[in-house]
Structure 1
Amino acid sequence: MKVEIITTGTELLLGEILNTNVQYLSRKLNSIGFDVLYHTTVGDNPERMQQVLEQAMERADIIITSGGLGPTRGDITKEMVMEVCHTESYLDLDTWGRIDEYFRRKGICQPSENNEKQAYVPIGAEVLQNDVGTAPGLWLEYNGKFFILLPGPPAELMDVCEKQLWPRLLQRFTDHGVIMSRTLHLRGVGESLVASKLDELIQAQTNPTIALYARYGEILIRLTAKAKNEKEAEKMLAAAEKNVRKYVDEYIYGIDDDTLGACLGRLLKEQGKTIAFAESCSGGLASSLVTDVAGSSEYLLGSVVSYTNMAKEKLLHVQADTLEHFSAVSRETACEMAVGVRNLLGSDIGVSITGNAGPGASEGKPVGLVYIAVAMNDVVYCQEHHFMSTRTENKLRIAQTAISMAIDKLLEAKNTEDNN
């Protein structure tokens, strides 16, 4: 079954609100075997919304809308669906009763007159009950097409989907199969090199499919299989992963929800080592990513956000002469920071980050110039990097790069031990 998701609301087009509904719907629909082929966002304009709905009817079997079911004049999704389906509405007393009860639970004696609009249901539609809001979802079939209208607030949309929509879809369409994906996470390699190595596989792909994309300093390979059941899909994904690993196994550090922080944690636990971070331009983001992993207190002893030269001197004992002669954004300062945080917190490994995340030059150093150092086994390693994105994205890429460098040094230490 071909699915188009239509999200409505001028605020989405203006970028005022992040469209998390379409992400949630797409992930779930694909996981239960429905082909989401189109995403469309349209503002609160009757003519344009009608055009979008009519276009969706031409290319999709199931049209799912999100938003526009509220009590205001700008909430027009239901009215426009009724227009293209040539139907009218009636006051559904059960829905009106639930709306009334919802307000009473909140301590409001009665709903406003505007809320009555939400209790009107298109003739022929089934109500998808909303237990956390006032706007019910709706299921309407017209000329072999299925219109599913969902409320816009994410909590309400998810409630309707989990309790009402997903069970109904699976019951109504029993032979759609499943679509499953597996994501391989790579580090230390560029997208073009991965694409070159996998070119033969990508050219020959059918089912499963192979897709590459870059995200914040890492490369992701998404394998997607469509099959009759989960067991068959898992088998297909395992075979596809095996083929991919023949070409890029050395770069793969995790699968699906794995993160660099989790990978670093596994290595630290395996080797019985602890770590500490000294961060300047990344503002503590690297250590934050490490602490996203449950149980990270076993190996992360602490973090110092030494954003100013004063903090670098007083907390990490970076020499004043170093800061004066080489500046805070320098290889020399990074090395002293890494040693300083390791000594301060008594960790096996000290990782430091200092640089200029942007958007303007600092201390005469260009935007994106960053030094990352790792102090371990009485040796200090330092790398120079240049990041060329926005300040926010630079910070994340810098933090990810620092974690990846720590992983490299732990792997090198392990290989040295194994060879001795």
Structure 2
Amino acid sequence: MQVEIITIGNELLIGQVIDTNSAWMGQQLNQAGFDITRITSIQDTREAITFAVKDAMSRVDIILMTGGLGPTKDDITKETLAALFNSKLVFNKYAYDAMKNLLKGRVKGINKQNESQAYVPESCEVIMNPVGTAPVMWFDENGKVIVSMPGVPVEMKTAMENEIIPRLQKRYDTGHIIHKTIQVFNIPEAVLAEKLEEWENSIPGYITLAYLPNPGKIRLRLTAKTDNENQANKDLSSLIKGLYEIVGEHIFGEEDLPVQQLLGNVLKKNGQTVSVAESCTGGNIGHLLTGIPGSSAYFKGGVIAYENAIKEHVLGVSNDALEQFGAVSKKVVEQMATGVRSLMNADFAIATSGIAGPDGGTDEKPVGTVWIAIAGAFGVKSECFNFGKIRARNIQRSSDAGLILLLQHLKKTEV
């Protein structure tokens, strides 16, 4: 069943507010078995709203809208929908009482602006909003479902999870949608596609493949739409097995999660810890790791060793290595990794040293040259990369690479 999403607000169009609503809605609807065919962001004007809704109704049976339901004069979605569906605004006592209870103790009284939110189009079904003052409006028009929700993310998400998706699933037969995501690292998209050409040709017709590239990483998303869930799972397992046979050395995850979370899950499961010594990444690896809730269970800490003196006097890198090979070298980054592991008394360590750019490179070590090492009871391993000339991308790719190298090592030792 096909769905279109319409987000309303001038603030979205000028970049003042980032539209996270439609991304979240798309994920939830897709998991529930619905196809999202279009997402449109429009101005908060009668003309734009009217045209967008009519246009969507000409293509799909379900239109979900967010925004334009506040108490101020610039919020005109409700009035526009009433006019579009030849309805009038009427006072809804249930919506008023719910709003009154929500605001109790927060405001002295219900003013006219808040009271106006209890007026809704007569032709809609009102769905109560337990976390906001604007009710959700459900329209059935000529066999089409149009739902108007507040733009505040927590209000929209509450409505979608508790009311809208369950109602849509009850009304429409969506079948089964199964997603499997395989994450690969350090292989260009065109090279990957060439390696997988024969494998792709073997994919059953009801399963689709999408390449979702990010700098240095590619997600391969397999999607099965079927009424036979058991067969789909068998076919997907067979396809994933085939992927490992072709590009297994590049695979680092089978879940659609960021690498720092994948690594954290393994460390937590094993009761192991990690520390970091960062030069060119400037603390970004530590930032990524600590961005995951519960990371204190496995992340010991780190050292941002930007200056050579810090590498030497805090991490124990030898002056001879720095003088002979330079900070961006195999010898130095390996000593950084072993040094921080010992300093933090951690099971594992990740270290980075490189030339992030845009300047500082040489013919021998151009901008983008990065040495990354991991250390553990097994000893120390290192690898050299060249990530190009864009500083921010170099930092991100270096950070990801360090996390992935340790994750791949841990997965190999689990086998």
Q: What does residue 101 of structure 2 align with?
A: 101
What is aligned with 2:123?
124
Cα deviation, 1:385-420, whole Å, max 9, x if unaligned, reads 3244461x43332111012223455677x59xx9xx
The aligned counterpart of 2:387 is: 386
CA 1:99–1:262: 2 relative to 1, 3 Å = closer
The equivalent of 2:232 in structure 1 is 236
Paired letter, 1:215: N
CA contact (8 A) 1:208 1:237 kept: no
Report what 1:245 is aligned to: 241
Which residue is 1:399 aligned to?
A: 399
- 1:383 counterpart SS class: strand
Cα contact 1:216–1:400 (8 A) shared by 2: no
| Offset at residue 121 of structure 1 (A) | 0.9
CA offsets 1:63-96 (integer angstroms, 9 cap, x no match):
1101111112221222232333232222223222
CA distance in 1, matches of 2:110, 2:310: 56
CA deviation string 1:5-61 (max 9, x = no partner): 001112212222232211221122222222211111112233233222221111111
Conserved in 1, the CA contact under 8 Å of 2:338 and 2:380?
no
Where do 1:235-314 residues align within 5 Å?
A: 235-249=231-245, 250=248, 251-261=250-260, 264=263, 275-290=274-289, 300-314=299-313
Query: Secondary structure at 1:186's aligned position in 2?
Result: strand
Query: Paired residue for 1:189?
Result: 187
Q: Aligned AA for 1:186?
A: V
1:14-413 matches, within 5 Å, as: 14-106=14-106, 108-173=107-172, 175-203=173-201, 205-228=204-227, 232-233=228-229, 235-249=231-245, 250=248, 251-261=250-260, 264=263, 275-290=274-289, 300-319=299-318, 323=322, 328-347=327-346, 349-358=348-357, 360-362=358-360, 367-375=367-375, 377=378, 379=380, 381-389=382-390, 391=392, 393-408=393-408
- In 2, the alpha carbon distance for the partners of 1:409 and 1:223 equals 25
The aligned amino acid for 2:178 is M
The answer (yes or no) to whether the contact 2:275–2:346 under 8 Å persists in 1 is: yes
Q: Report how far residue 361 of structure 1 moved.
A: 2.1
User: How far apart, CA to CA, are the structure 2 residues paired with 1:235 and 1:292?
Assistant: 38
Which stretch of the first structure deviates more once superposed, 397-406 or 44-53? 44-53
Q: CA deviation at 1:239?
A: 1.0
Task: Check conservation: 1:30, 1:36, Cα contact below 8 A.
Answer: yes
Distance 2:102 2:48 in 1: 33
Seen in structure 2, the aligned counterparts of structure 1 residues 158 and 263 have a Cα distance that, compared at 3 Å, is closer
In the TM superposition, what is the alpha-carbon distance from 1:293 to its structure 2 partner? Answer: 6.6
Distance in 1 between the 2:129 and 2:57 partners?
26
Whether the 8 Å CA contact 1:224–1:237 is kept in 2: the answer is: no
Residue pair 1:327, 1:363 contacting (<8 A) in 2 also:
no
Q: Which runs of 5+ in 1 are unaligned?
A: none
Report the AA paired with residue 383 of structure 1.
Answer: C
Question: Structure 1 residues 12, 238: CA separation in 2 closer, same or farther (over 3 Å shift)?
Answer: farther
TM-score (norm 2): 0.85
Indicate conservation of the 8 Å contact 1:181/1:237, yes or no. Answer: no
User: C-alpha distance in 2, partners of 1:163/1:219?
Assistant: 34
1:147-178 residue CA offsets vs partner (Å, 9 max, x unmatched): 100100011111222232223223333x3323
Aligned length: 408
Counterparts of 2:279 and 2:322, CA distance in 1: 14
Offset of residue 314 of structure 1: 2.9
Q: 1:159-208 CA distances to partner (integer Å, 9 max, x unpaired)?
A: 222232223223333x3323232212223433223322333454565212
Is the 8 Å Cα contact of residues 331 and 384 (structure 1) preserved in structure 2?
no
For residues 120-158 of structure 1, what are the alpha-carbon distances to aligned partners after superposition, in whole Å with 9 as ceiling and x for unaligned?
Answer: 211210011111111111001122221100100011111
Residues of 2 paired with 1:55 and 1:380: CA distance?
58
Distance in 2 separating the partners of 1:343 and 1:70:
57
Relative to structure 1, the CA distance from residue 301 to residue 121 in structure 2 (aligned partners, 3 Å threshold; closer, same or farther) is closer
Q: Work out whether residues 338 and 351 of structure 1, in 8 Å CA contact, stay in contact via their aligned partners in 2.
A: yes
Q: Tell me the TM-score normalised to structure 1 length.
A: 0.84
**Structure 1 residues 110, 411: closer, same or farther in 2, change over 3 A?**
closer
SS in 2 for 1:316: coil
**Does the CA contact (< 8 Å) of 1:69 and 1:78 recur in 2?**
yes
